[in-house]
Chains A and B, each alone.
Chain A
Amino acid sequence: MMAAAARFFIRGANSKLSISGVAAGAQSSLGASLLKLSASCNSRTKTQRRHVAHFTFQPDPVPTQYGPTQKMNLFQSVTSALDNTLANDPTAVIFGEDVAFGGVFRCTVGLRDKYGKDRVFNTPLCEQGIVGFGIGVAVAGATAIAEIQFADYIFPAFDQIVNEAAKYRYRSGNLFDCGNLTIRAPWGCVGHGSLYHSQSPEAFFAHCPGLKIVIPRGPVQAKGLLLSCIADKNPCIFFEPKILYRAAVEQVPVEAYTIPLSQADILEEGSDVTLVAWGTQIHVMREVANMAQEKLGVSCEVIDLQTILPWDVETVCKSVAKTGRLLISHEAPITGGFAAEISSTVQEECFLNLEAPISRVCGYDTPFPHIFEPFYIPDKWKCFDAIKRMINY
């Protein structure tokens, strides 16, 4: 009981910090104790400066093919996708810890009022229960959208995800499946999240056949990819870069649209080096590409992988066959990280095209630290230096 309460406050406080600087009436509903907690961490301006130093969000061009658009940040585009789903699919339900009042990151604001208590509801504080419950909903044929409050807390549900969700269809000979299950979870570093509000656990799941793992880079991608995950007939994990929830703002179509899974997105064409990343790190890569062009005259091709599993081997290999060099970057620790998988596959497929060893710029093999975050993350300078060394190889 005590531990559970403590965890809630930590989570609440954290979300409060990560959304700092934005006036919102809803925040007051978190209660006085939370506000006090947040005030005690009174480095609000420093926190913001650190965010700015890490990356600059670059909006996508306004998508015109899906009808009218609206300015949304990432959490609003997630809400919009969920709204479209609940409106179009009467079986769809959304559940998790604290989703009813709108979620600690505001992703489900208004949905309960609009669609009813039986469709948007809180569960007990128990991740293995949330995922197991979601699998059951999906097995019975309904659409289940489960939220894990932080990707860091998905591990209690690892068994349900890896042994159950991922293997349901296969082991039953396709008699039963939980393809209607989507698990959403805030993901990635946030400036001050420390060990348990910063993790990027995609590689743990990438070793598990039967799952799809998807990570968007901004609001437009978030909505389109989330709607694809929800519609996909396989269990999907959708990781939402929480540092972008409010920081990333762009024009997002109001109506439902999908962006295909397992397709990487070439954001910038280039001829000298291929840069592969996903989530927030894409914005770091874009900046690095500019730096490499300006300072080194190097032309970078920037690829957003978007789907970690099953990943788009073809697009990446085609790019490397052209550029001859590859840099992969992710926030997660390097050993056993997903860059290792990409690297060895590209080495196998593009051996004759490679002009330098494949470079991985990743988090260090440590837990994610609190005060040392600026030194831990694979920021633009680390990536830039790797490009420099690769070009001079």
Chain B
Amino acid sequence: MAAVRSMSKMYGLCFHAVRQTAGLKASGLLQHRAFRATVVHQQQPFDSSLEKPQFPGASAEFVDHLEFIQPNVISGIPVYRVMDRQGNIINPSEDPQLSKETVLNFYQKMTLLNTMDRILYESQRQGRISFYMTNYGEEGTHVGSAAALDPSDIVFGQYREAGVLMYRGFPLDLFMAQCYANADDLGKGRQMPVHYGSKDLNFVTISSPLATQIPQAAGAAYAVKRENMNRAVICYFGEGAASEGDAHAGFNFSATLECPLIFFCRNNGYAISTPTNEQYRGDGIAARGPGYGMLSIRVDGNDVFAVYNATKEARRRAVAENQPFLIEAMTYRIGHHSTSDDSSAYRSVDEVNYWDKQDHPISRLRHYMTARSWWSEDDERSWRKQSRKTVMEAFEKAERRQKPNPELLFTDVYQEMTPNLNKQRESMWRHIQQYKEHYPMDLYDK
């Protein structure tokens, strides 16, 4: 009994709801209950006549024995799953029953991203682009969540969410233009590769500093709430980024300010070389949500339907109830952290192979499709060929394109060109005029 109660305190905010069910339900159920029973914490009205604690900071009963609350890390928050590793639906009532067309689209977006990753990864190895980060193993988290959103929902990401853009229809040409920093790049060639952004697709431009987007997403969600246009905001981040102070800020702000926001954590086991046991000692990221008064769930990130269902429901409730939701998608970073990293220096090949060969979001969805005769070996072969061709075409086109005019080094620092910057701009051109043979002028737009 004591153990059950302490656990419920750890997870739940609604002590009364837990007390009513304590002793009747299994602890696993209690966790669920605590999530669902969460209500917005209100400052307790002062009433000295009641024989209960009157502290304004929490709503709780007195207890007459000393007992520390135990974190529950051995039997953590369960991982929600819709289909098994062979693509079989486990519980038919959880089947989202998506149309063949929709599922094929999921699969094609995931595999197209995978194909693009392979080609751009190789191109970096050959020194054709300066840097790259693949999405291997996390394609399901991107596509499953993106599909559950409205296109007008604002996306804040970290850097490993290219599949969200892919799902929203970002053209291959623009992915490539950004990585090549050519004259077609919407970002004008100013940021490192994979720092994508699209105003049209409501995908806020990626920046390198980790977790900075988390409180920003809360602010955007607040503004969106005031617009009253039935929009939500989603904010992606890795489990490593969740250690940043900004994550704490974003979680707490979105809860107290009641923002329609979905926090989507990609827990892939590593932050570069740092394994999760050096990142945190609690029950992952999902267990932090209730501490902030936030409804939280943990899903199988390699199960695109589980990700879809959780995001869909979180989005519906976030908008209807103006409150944040936390989804922790458990997955595995199959690729290296980036092209500047060799992950064999800190983890075993066997471990990587397991996730790549036996539990991969793409192969799992393919099993599901095959079982329904929606996809055949022939379909696979021709799609592989076609996707590779379209990626290569975009790749070659991007490579041939000139870099943007160096003039663009100076614009957009401020909305207007300041006298100081104008002076520096003129000085650069004067200098280049005189020393042009020392600069790669032929690569840049005139």
Contacts and interface: CB of A to CB of B under 8 A. Distances in A.
A365 interface: no
Given A171-B187, A172-B197, A313-B420, A139 B216 contact: yes
Contact of B222 (A126, A136, A141, A168): A136
Interface in A128-144: 128-129, 131-142, 144
A175 B223 contact: no
A175 B178 CA distance: 13
Nearest to A123: B253
Interface stretch (A21-29, A159-167, A320-328, A353-361): A159-167
Given A129-B215, A144-B219, A313-B420, A176 B249 contact: no
Contact of A173 (B185, B249, B256, B415): B185
Interface in A148-162: 156, 159-160
Contact of B219 (A121, A140, A179, A209): A140
B414 interface: yes
A177 interface: yes
Interface in B418-433: 418-421
Contacts of A310: 414, 418-421
Nearest to B255: A124
Contacts of B212: 132, 159-160, 163-164
B415 A169 contact: yes
A140 B220 contact: yes
Nearest to A127: B249
Contacts of B226: 91, 93, 118, 142
A314 B216 contact: no
B257 interface: yes
Contact of A132 (B199, B216, B223): B216
A129 B223 contact: no
A94 to B, nearest CB: 12
Contact of A129 (B188, B249, B418): B249
Contacts, number: 158
A166 to B, nearest CB: 9
A140 B224 contact: yes
Contacts of B337: none
Contacts of B156: 136
A77 interface: no
A7 interface: no
Contacts of A137: 219-220, 222-223
Interface in B180-200: 185-188, 190-191, 195, 197-199
B197 A177 contact: no
A124 B215 CA distance: 12
Nearest to B192: A171
A139 to B, nearest CB: 6
18 contacts: A121-B257, A124-B256, A128-B215, A128-B245, A133-B257, A135-B215, A137-B223, A160-B246, A163-B207, A163-B209, A170-B190, A170-B413, A171-B191, A174-B411, A176-B197, A233-B416, A310-B419, A313-B419
Contacts of B220: 136-137, 139-140
